[in-house]
Amino acid sequence: MTKLKNEKYYAILQGALRTFAEHGFHKSQVSKIAKAAGVADGTIYLYFKRKEDILIALFREKLGELVAKFRASLDERADPVDSLRKLCEIHYDELEKDVDFAVVTQLELRQSSLELRREIGASFKPYIVLIEDIVRRGVESGAFRRDLDVKLTRLLVFGAMDEVVTSWLISGRKYSLRAQAEGTADFFLRGLLA
């Protein structure tokens, strides 16, 4: 009985990730996911109530892992400037390393219905909060401008990185995503002015 109790649960998520990445959410029939996961169609419904719940769970799990990695790498007491540079590096690095996840996050997620996206949005929250924390620490330490709107800034930072990743994917990943981290961090920190 060394088998993991949730063995099938994770097999399904894994199969779904691969299937969504390859075919997109709407063209990923439940039977296709089941085959990719190596389980019967009906088995999926022992672990998920609706097909959409697979996507929701997938995001919760994967973004949870991602945030954990950030938390592990970013020292709460480190220099906010260093933290922001590191954030860019990890963001690009992790998505470049897990292309399936990147595809699903950047491209397929957006195909889901508005209600579904709202539910998934909750999974992004901790990551947005993490960005906010860095910005806030920067302001408080005097490293960042005192007049920054923290809530606005976290969106700008997230949105900017998000678009870079999406563009990289749509263009066919012809260049290194990781290599954009420095330019991105510079943009955030120094802005455009000479």
Instruction: Based on the shown chain and the rule CB under 7 A, indicate whether residue 111 belongs to the binding site for DNA.
Output: no
Out of 10, 46, 99, 113, point to the residue binding DNA (CB under 7 A). 46
Instruction: Based on the shown chain and the rule CB under 7 A, indicate whether residue 141 belongs to the binding site for DNA.
Output: no
Instruction: Based on the shown chain and the rule CB under 7 A, indicate whether residue 29 belongs to the binding site for DNA.
Output: yes
Instruction: Based on the shown chain and the rule CB under 7 A, indicate whether residue 113 belongs to the binding site for DNA.
Output: no
Cα–Cα distance measured from residue 56 to residue 53, given in angstroms and rounded to the nearest whole number: 5
Q: Is 157 helix (H, G, I), strand (E, B) or coil?
A: helix
Instruction: Based on the shown chain and the rule CB under 8 A, indicate whether residue 67 belongs to the binding site for its own copies.
Output: no
Using CB distances below 5 to 8 A depending on partner kind, what does residue 72 bind out of its own copies, DNA, none?
Answer: none
Q: Report the residue number, 5 or 190, with the smaller CB distance to its own copies.
A: 190
Using CB distances below 5 to 8 A depending on partner kind, what does residue 189 bind out of its own copies, DNA, none?
Answer: its own copies
Exposed e or buried b per residue across 46-82, where buried means at least 16 C-beta atoms within 10 angstroms of its C-beta: ebbeeebebbbbbbeebbeebbeebeeebeeeeebbe
Cα–Cα distance measured from residue 48 to residue 86, given in angstroms and rounded to the nearest whole number: 36
By CB under 7 A, the count of residues binding DNA is 22
Q: Cβ(25)–Cβ(112) under 8 Å?
A: yes
Q: Report the residue number, 45 or 187, with the smaller CB distance to DNA.
A: 45
